[in-house]
Amino acid sequence: MALGVSFEPAPAELSTDPEPGTRLRRSAPLILGLVFSLLYSLLSALRYYRFGDTSWDLGIFEEAVRHYAHFQAPIVDIKGPGFNILGDHFSPLLAILAPTYWIYPSAVSLLVAQGFLLGMSVVPIARAAVRALGFGSGIGIGIAYGLAWGLQRAADNTFHEVALAVPLLALCLERLLDRRWKSAFLWCLPLVLVKEDLGLTVAAIGAYLILQRQQRLGLAAVAFGTGMFALTLEVLIPAMNPSHQYAYWNKVGSGGGMLSSVFNGADVKLDTLVVIFGVTGLLALRSPLSILVLPTLGWRFVSTDTDYWGTAWHYNAVLMPIVFAALIDAIVKSKASEHRLLREYASHLVPVVVGIAVTFTLAGNLPLKDLTDSSSYSRGSRGPAELLALSEIPDNASVETNMTLISHLSGRCDVYWVGAAGNVVPEYVVLDLWAGWSSPINNPVGYAESLHAGVQYTMISNDQGLAVMKQS
């Protein structure tokens, strides 16, 4: 050709770009993480849209992050006037969510952030599985983990700080599986800033490192984890708590002592254990990584609070990366076993685990199934009444309220929990008379006035059990 220029395609061996299939395989864990991030964000946002809060926690965390976003102490008046949330649970790592609030100052920003954190924890689990088991099995494990019931429950139950711990644990576990000990050690350290009990999980990671003959790192993790656990419970939290104590000690143990309390509700606790490990076909129990579940299950099972025992809330989210990492480790070990039946079981387990995850989601009516229901995308018949109640309350007003509207008000008003001791006299009292937390259906004005002696309130709207009263 003229000028000696050739337009023939370069030989494949001279190309520095990976094959398209190779690029897809490398990016598959990230794609999977983004898909689950979208699903979990959508799940949470739709519940918020439907006014379906399951607890007051979203309002609490929204107030805390809003103050962090304004470079202020995390004061949460919902817990009590002037209450510093660090005196309840030690979760200073929440401050890293402040930029999400700068972008979109609403409780929705926390829900989307939580969805992203839960969804992106799929990436390190899937990467580790692909490296250990091959592409097909690795992606299968990633899908099963993304559908894990503990993650679904966390996304469905408003927002909680443990969402920060899930990707940290997943990153740490990926490195433990890859035997990158120092990196694993570094990734586990921030867990102590997520919630006070996770110091014991750091210590358990240290114990695992010791089992892997990484004594220096292991001992350092044990010392750091237990030290921070003791420091937060005995010093840091009491210093910021109005009562100068850790408020949850009264939930530990029973009349017969801590050990006997483990056997209270044994049927519920056994069911929880079966479901936790059952999603892995029980094979995760063969990995020493399974010891990392002990701290979380330990404090939950010695508690007298029955909400901690079961599978309905968010408390199992931090266990999901542990049991799936343990599954990956156990499959690798089992395939090298001298026992033929164990080898066969491990070799055929991944499709079964995926099937369990899908079956749990669809037949077990787990939250992600709601995304296939058209009613999930509608506010329902009560929606206009809820919007009317919100419209009656101006920005920056002081409001005392119960469940339904709390997280829809916390971003723009000074919000207090109804009937809490020490509340200031609010300009508005807003009650969902059907919520069950407080139900003065016959005389809401009288109930509001009973909360604040000598103060009079006037009903300004009451539609479908949503009563809005203004100080006269």
Per-residue pLDDT tens digits for 375-407 = 999 998 899 999 999 999 999 999 999 888 999
Long-range contacts of 434-443 (CB under 8 A, 24+ apart): 434/464, 434/465, 435/402, 435/403, 435/404, 437/402, 437/403, 438/402, 441/465
64-100 pLDDT, tens digit per residue, is 999 999 999 999 999 999 999 999 999 999 999 999 9
**pLDDT of 11-68, one tens digit each?**
444 445 556 667 878 899 999 999 999 999 999 999 999 998 888 899 999 999 999 9
State yes or no: pLDDT of 422 exceeds 50.
Answer: yes
| Polymer length of the chain | 472
Q: Give me the residue spans of the domains in the chain.
A: 24-372, 383-471
**If DSSP codes are grouped into helix, strand and coil, which group holds residue 24?**
helix
- Report whether pLDDT(450) > 60: yes
Give me the chain's average pLDDT, please.
91
Model pLDDT for residues 301-317, shown as the tens digit of each residue: 999 999 999 999 999 99
Q: In angstroms, rounded to a whole number, what is the distance separating the alpha carbons of residues 13 and 108?
A: 50
pTM: 0.91
